[in-house]
Amino acid sequence: MDFINTTDEVSSWEEVMLLYNAALRQVETKMQILNDEFQHVHQYNPIEHIKARLKTAESIVKKLKRHGYESTVENMVKYINDIAGIRIICSFTSDIYRIADMIMEQQDIKVINVKDYITFPKASGYKSYHIIVTVPVYLSDRVVDTKVEIQIRTVAMDFWASLEHKIQYKFEGAAPDHIKEELVECSKLVADLDARMLSLNEEILSVNEEKETEKKGA
């Protein structure tokens, strides 16, 4: 799908960042509404918290250079998918796929790409569920479909990813092998913790359902 035609529609850095900021706020609001509705219907919040951020100019330029592109607004719009980013943190792995399904069912959200790093983790041990979407940004004279990257992960996955990011930044992507190996081992512990916590939660829900059935039968 075509995104923004920068020659015709976006004339400056300021304008393109306005679009990304507007798209970011739209998606963040959508997630909060879905969470509120889920609480109303099911008495349960799948989303622990939401983080929203726009990439800095420095980070955008670095990423373009890393991939061999000139630092232009056109290249930024065409080649960088995570300028506007939403990170959704939830309690259990089952929530991740539930939230992803809710996002994909939104009629005005168009899914561009999905990467399931939970089923297929990166070699580093990184786990998260990534969705690249576009949302319509309504300006005074036109509508512009604007990209947002949505990352969904558990609290434990987010803790691991935060540490991994700090290590990569500290060593500029060249961390010692023993630290990389330790990170992979930690990711396995995180996966085991997530699985055990999910199992425990399901057992608690099962016990509560049995109690409710007994009350109704009394």
Over residues 109-119, the pLDDT tens digits come to 999 999 999 99
Contact of 168 with 160, CB cutoff 8 Å: no
Q: Which residues of 83-115 are buried (b: 16+ CB within 10 A; e: fewer)?
A: bbbbbbbbbbbebbeebbebbeeeeebeeeeee
User: Is residue 215 one of the residues assigned to a domain?
Assistant: no
Q: What pLDDT does 4 receive?
A: 44
User: Is residue 183 one of the residues assigned to a domain?
Assistant: yes
Q: What pLDDT does 90 receive?
A: 94
Domain that holds residue 69: 6-206
Q: What pLDDT does 1 receive?
A: 34
Q: Taking the CB of residue 130, how many other CB atoms lie within 10 A of it?
A: 19
- Return the structure tokens found at 178: 């023993």
**What is the count of structural domains for the chain?**
1
What CATH number has the domain bearing residue 54?
Answer: 3.30.460.10
Q: What is the pTM of this model?
A: 0.86
User: Is residue 190 one of the residues assigned to a domain?
Assistant: yes
Chunk the chain into consecutive blocks of 10 residues (it has 218) and report each block's average pLDDT, rounded to whole numbers: 41 86 95 90 87 92 91 90 96 93 93 96 95 94 94 96 87 82 93 94 84 72
Q: What pLDDT does 64 receive?
A: 93
Helices within the chain (DSSP H only): 6-9, 13-42, 57-66, 73-79, 93-104, 155-170, 177-217
User: Is residue 21 one of the residues assigned to a domain?
Assistant: yes
